Amino acid sequence: MSVLRALPSKARISEVRKVSAKIFDEFWNPTAKRNPAKILTAPLKGPEYLSYYGDNNAAPTFKDFKKWFPELQIEDPREVYRKFMVEDRKRRNKGAPKKKKQ
């Protein structure tokens, strides 16, 4: 008897791999087509990114200072500039169009 006859057939090897994938809870893909199984089974990366970059609310914002100290009546320079630019565009007829009246 030759060595080639002693080897299992391709169908039998495929069947063994299928059962093995089922036992070890792996994805069975005999045609080797691309699929998102690798991505979908991976753990989520969101918590890692958040822990790396830290808490975004740690530093107080201009809005926080305005809320904490209303007696100072401070204005955000960026907001003042934004309002100025909106008015400037309106003066030059470059602003948003008027809404339609019904």
pLDDT at 23 over 90: yes
Q: Which 8-state DSSP code applies to residue 93?
A: T
pLDDT at 95 over 60: yes
End-to-end CA distance of the chain: 94
User: Residues 49-90: pLDDT tens digits?
Assistant: 878 877 777 788 888 899 999 999 889 899 999 999 999 999
pLDDT of residue 68: 93
pLDDT band at 3 (very low <50, low <70, confident <90, very high): low
> Which carries the bigger pLDDT value, residue 45 or residue 80?
80
The helix/strand/coil state of 57 is coil
Question: What mean pLDDT is predicted for residues 25-44?
Answer: 84
Tokens 């994805």 sit on residue = 27
Long-range contacts of 42-48 (CB under 8 A, 24+ apart): none
pLDDT at 36 over 70: yes
The helix/strand/coil state of 89 is helix
